[in-house]
Structure 1
Amino acid sequence: MREPLIETVGLTKYFQTPKGQLHAVEDVNLCIYRGETLGVVGESGCGKTTLGRTIMRLVDASSGQILLNGNNITKLKGKEKNRIYNDMQMVFQDPYSSLNPRMTVGNIIEDPIRTMGHKVNKKEMADKVLEVMEIVGLPARYYNTYPHELDGGRRQRVGIARTLVLNPQFIVCDEPVSALDVSIQAQILNLLMDLQETKQLSYMFITHNLSVVRHISSHIMVMYMGQVVEYGEKEKIFANPCHPYTKALLAAVPQPDLNMINRKRELLHGEVTSPINPVKGCRFAARCPFATKRCNETDIPLVGIEDGHVCACMLFQS
């Protein structure tokens, strides 16, 4: 039986605001196995990035557990916490703001090695950096350049090289292509997929672009207002979307097919509910065309639709 590389159990993150408690991530349970990609999708503000940062321990969870190779890393502090970054790294959304403008490409890529205290001499360090640069498609001539001298695609390659230099097992990709031109997006996606195949990496790929998710993911998790509303294998989610929110997201994906120009679209109406001190019930109910009184009476758990496919909707509750 395979053991998950990354697992969360009831992972929750709240933020205190002047108006009350903001429920950014609530009771998320997920498993990511070696060599697999979990695509996390949803509108801006649904909690995708907070989930990724909480798993990475960049922010502390309010409750729940984060397991790395079966070990609970939720409460680790100091040096014990720092050691997990040998196995976990993150690629950020904006390739420019995530790079230190005062450091050269070579210094940026070698920085994790120095930060983690690995004992390597100057030549070994340079060789390792050049090796990683070659892997991500950065010519050696960029070793002494600065981020402002590079275009967006090359900056993101620097960010990816920085994550790879410690040979991690798991990488959180927080919308790594959303700030890039379409042609460059394809190059970066193909690079990530090639790296996954050669190094057996596991990804959490955070995005709002379902076309990208379909290309790179093995499993998909749909989030709305901090909660998971649907989860399953990629093929099952696209072939049989169950939650009304998932259907609306899929309907918004452009189709390059003139025969589908008159296809029916799922339009959402109504106001987005506040994530601050939310009341019981489905948080999507105010925008859902199938909402009934029952949807506002109690929180709706995830239930199985088919093997490996779950959905949190009153339409599927017994």
Structure 2
Amino acid sequence: MARRGGRSGVPVIVSVHSGTLGQAIGGCRLAPYPDWRDGLTDALRLSAAMTAKCAVAGLPHGGAKTVVALPPGTDLGPALRRAVLLDVGDTIESLGGEYATGPDVGTGPDDMAVIGERTPHVFCRPVGAGGSGDSSRPTAEGVLAALAALAPVAGRRFAIMGLGRVGAHVARELAAAGAELLVTDVDESRRQLAAELGATWTDDILTAEADVLVPAALGGVLTAATVAGLRCAEICGPANNQLDRPETADLLHERGILWAPDFVVSAGGVIHATGVELRGETPAQATARVRGIAGTLTTVLESARRDGTTPLAAAHELARTRINAARQATMAA
């Protein structure tokens, strides 16, 4: 669904990729695009990734995504921002519960509270508004569980690309566990955090020699060109859509670099938020699910080794198996 917001005049795009496992979920991305059709392409790609993320995580949800395609140069002041978010709420409400949204690039818990004025199908609202709050900490906890599943952390060298809310928490916990850190961020002010953690700042993170590369910024960083220059043994991080295209997973495999699929590693936030807000789980139950990412990643990697395929192919096969089982159960019922 793509329509121009009645209040804002800004294109609001909702892509519901699958509802086989249950109500579709996916974040609301608020970002500038050269053309609204670029936002549509992004929504279609991201919603498919959410279907895989939910299926592999064992969640009773399908995948979807909202993209608000801001025209280049838009001055998104408070009034326009509120109008945009209310338009998003109306669009989601028009789907009758088929889809619920949460934060993504450009949005946060406060924005979910505004969307919640027009629809109840929203999660990650502020704690004071009855929600589960910022999802960055459970996302980071899931990443740490995945990293620990690869090998003991102490004494290993991690190259962390991005020190935002998730990346910073991962960096702090790794440093506390005795890891050696190389870090970078487009925000130079993050050098202060690096200094506090005793981390080495580098502008060449993708070619840094490390045990594990941790992509924790925007996606698309793994390409044919960047893979050729990598000097790491493993890649495991929370950034979404790290591969520029699926075939890049084969290039990593050929180089003997283990890539933990991003949609497996980064699922902690959505596991926790939807558990607490949409399925009535206690915070302890939701946290236990987040820590289960370690077991899920282990299963994926073992399947890949057994079948002689890539972790990406193994993760997609696990997702297909769960979706097909749900589809057959529905047909039988």
Q: Which has the higher strand share?
A: 1
Same fold? TM cut 0.5: no
**Which structure has the bigger radius of gyration?**
1
Q: Which has the higher helix share?
A: 2
